[in-house]
Structure 1
């Protein structure tokens, strides 16, 4: 389709024992030349790797992944008009931040595809190649299930159609929100299900979205984010869930966080904001 854009990607792999050839995927780097998108998504926790390789040096691997993440972020900011040209591909950028050597982190071969949303494609590739077999990847409810009661209440008040998808783009990140509207700033609503099977999964998801808030804080458009969060069905994970909420609230852009028990409060707030906006528009016309 005409809106589809070509992209390339490479897998980042952890090589535990070069002689034995033992490797595990730990990240994905994706580049979309048409949109200038370049991002690396890496593991934030290494629980599964610890089971695969009991003698793994955890701190060394985590610091290496963090260094690569920072390196790609610098490359994205500094080379928007340099390497980020149509002829470049994911492999070029990958080896610009991590040349081929005998270290424990190595790049795999390059793949390609087409997408309308590079960030979403990066998430899908990460889930497919990195997180597919993680216990914490399994969720009792997904984000759509958390949004469903919000949608139903919006429909009751004839407000559903007033929300629209919006891609927020900054020099270092981009995120598409399915539910947004503009009133000076873009008010963006993101459901998040923390109904996961492990504390690591909950913390990693919260950290990922907190990172998005940092990235979007540099967007030229004003953004007001709202998170609607669903808790875990496993009560032993409540402490991890509360810490996830605290992390989201402390993030850049000061997002508002509503739990599922606060859906009616959220709907009243949205309806009031629409009413105030409409009244102002009428008085100005």
Structure 2
């Protein structure tokens, strides 16, 4: 498995430039070897809304989305010739230091098997960690996987679970939980425990897009999604739509809620035998 060096720069929001106070609003991650460039941003919810009640959420959301789209276009049109330099240097080509409310802050670097996963982790560390709803911890993907892990152990299959990189002519995707037996059975937990319907869509679309990028491996890769529902009942309609989106993805994935982990493991066991 290939590890890729990366650098990152934290995007900050300054509500009043002259005061000098800033809150983290996103993370830009750049890996030249992985040909990966992406800006992940918040949408105006959470800590920013609490800190600045007069924040124009619509204007902020459109500004950061437009910025993220610019990096997406650079990544899509550059092909093998992505810009060189650090994430900060690449970021400054798009967003220069001026008197606007958005600016680059903390920077850093690291290595990873999966730049997209590294970006998600950095975003949680620098941006999302203080957006938790009062009185509870949002459930992570790995928390959702616990229900499956217990059933795999009962079926004496957990010892066969290994991380694996799936490669196609379009992408290399790192999966943490796979069992290989002729075909590669990929078990992917997806927690939709979110306070934002748009974040739920981003997450479901990310996995649908990943399956699209490896659809040529139909029959060789069998995906199983185990999902976690949102705690906010008002988001249940969005949850149902996201499950439908995953079901409509390439490779004919099995999609089940974590409460049906036993059924999911039974399906995997049937395929293995």
TM-score, length basis structure 2: 0.80
The one-character-per-residue Cα deviations of 1:42-95 (angstroms, maximum 9, x if unpaired) are 1134232122111111111111111122221111121132234xx422123212
Deviation at 1:190, TM superposition (A): 1.6
1:119/1:174 contact within 8 Å kept: no
**Mind listing any 5+ residue stretches in structure 1 that lack a counterpart?**
276-285
Tell me what 1:125 maps to. Answer: 122
CA deviations on 1:178-209 (whole Å, 9 max, x unpaired) are 12246887542222345x5x633xx3552332
Aligned residues: 265
Residues 1:257 and 1:139: Cα distance change in structure 2 (over 3 Å): farther
Question: SS of the residue aligned with 1:82?
Answer: coil
Whether contact under 8 Å (2:44, 2:60) holds in the other structure is no
SS at 1:9's partner residue? strand
1:253 corresponds in structure 2 to 249
Q: Which residue matches 2:14?
A: 15
Gaps of 5+ in 2: none
Q: Which residue of 1 aligns with 2:98?
A: 101
Task: Give the structure 2 partner of residue 167 of structure 1.
Answer: 165
SS at match of 1:107: strand
- Residue in 1 that maps onto 2:271: 273
Q: Please say if residues 147 and 191 of structure 1, whose CA atoms lie closer than 8 Å, have aligned partners that are also in contact.
A: yes
User: Which 10-residue stretch deviates more, 266-275 or 169-178?
Assistant: 169-178
Equivalent position of 1:158 in the other structure: 156
Residue 235 of structure 2 aligns with which residue? 240
**Separation of aligned partners in 2, 1:169 and 1:241:** 34
SS of 2:27's equivalent? Answer: strand
